[in-house]
Every structure is written in structure tokens, then in C-alpha cells.
A = this chain, B = another copy of it.
Amino acid sequence: MTWIYFLDLFGTSVFAISGVLMAIEKRFDLVGTLIIGFVTAVGGGTLRDLLIGRSPVGWLNDRNYILAIFIGYAIAYIFYKRVLRLKKGMFLFDTLGIGVFTIIGLKIAAEYNLRVETCIMMGVISACFGGVIRDVLTNEIPLIFRKEIYAAACFLGAVIYVIMQKFCPIENVNVMVSMAIVFIVRYLSFKNGWTLNLKKFDDVNGFGNGDK
């Protein structure tokens, strides 16, 4: 399936761009922004590979991923203001990216004969932990822990993919439908401000105490 490979490279570039943009905002230098772009793009897949024992970690052996990151890095710097203005486009690309990363991550884990629930987790980790590592390195509380539906969209897409595989023999259809699920759930939750916060805990002492 070449098309999913190309989507994966595309998602890698998009993730790199978003990482570099955030790092520029933090006034990191040329090296710092490159590292954050790298980590955002391949951090999730790297963690997955370490956990399942895929060695060496995937992107070390595939020059295209490194190239995709450098392209994203260059785009972020050269078209900085234009990219910033394209926030909506970036959001759509990013959302496409997490769908691809989820399904590819799940499929790679499946090659290692792990249980189905572990494969689903590895899909979610592939899609979400690049951003988590980026946030840790930039000294922020990871976004996905608090805002909107992000990991849950990946989780749902991964579950749908696993279920469809049992019933539908056309792999391309399974991949496309489950990626679409991730995209739609994430898009709708963002647009409608859906969250996974329980009201029950609204009066828990949070960061600011007074921000209730």
C-alpha cells in the first residue's frame, strides 16, 4: 500500500512543521527548533518501537522520514507567516496525520504478534506521544491530557479498524474508513468543543483554584 506510506511521510512533515512553529514561538534557536520538529514527528513512533522491541527504531533505517522532517523544517522557516495564517489548513493536515499514524502504528505492532488491545494502544501512542514528548521538552503540560478529544479519537479509529478487519476483506477500505473515523471524531470534537472532562470533578483544586 504505497498510498498510506506517502500519507505517513506527509503526516511526518506536517507534525514537524507544527513542532517547529511551537519551538519558534518559544524562541528556540535553529537547533532547538529542529530537535522539536524531529521529536514531534517521530517521537510517537519511536516510543512504540522501543516498547514493542522494534530495533533499530524505524526512522533510523528510512531516509525518507528524515527528509520529510527537513522539508517540514524548511517550510516552517521559509513560509513562517503564511503557515501561521493557514491555521485551519494545518489543523486539517494534523488531523489527517494522527489518523495515518494510528493505523500504521497499529499495523506495525500487529506484525510483532502482540495482543489486539496492545496493538490498539500502540496505534494511539504512535499518534499522540510525539506531541507529549514535544510538550515535555518545551516544559508544558501535555495538551492531550486536558483539552478536547484527541487520543480518544485515535482509540476509536483503532478499534473500528480491528473490528472491520474481521468482516471486511478489503484492507484499503478498512484503513480508509478507520482513518476517516479518527478525522471526523477529532474534527467534530474540536469544532463543538467536546471534552472528556467529568463535571463531577469541576470543584477539584486545579491549577489556579480560582478559575472555576
Contact = CB atoms under 8 A, between A and B. Distances in A.
Interface of A: 23-33, 35-36, 46, 50-53, 55-57, 60-61, 63, 66, 77, 80, 112, 114-115, 117-118, 132, 136-142, 144-147, 149-152, 195-198, 200-201, 204-207
B141 A26 contact: yes
Given A31-B149, A77-B198, A137-B141, 9 more contacts: A24-B204, A25-B204, A30-B197, A30-B198, A52-B55, A52-B57, A61-B118, A66-B117, A138-B141
Contacts of A25: 204-206
B114 A60 contact: yes
Nearest to A32: B145
A51 B14 CA distance: 23
A193 B196 CA distance: 39
A172 to B, nearest CB: 28
Contact of A56 (B28, B46, B51, B146): B51
Given A25-B206, A29-B145, A139-B140, A60 B56 contact: no
A60 B55 contact: no
B31 A150 contact: yes
A139 B112 CA distance: 33
B50 A50 contact: yes
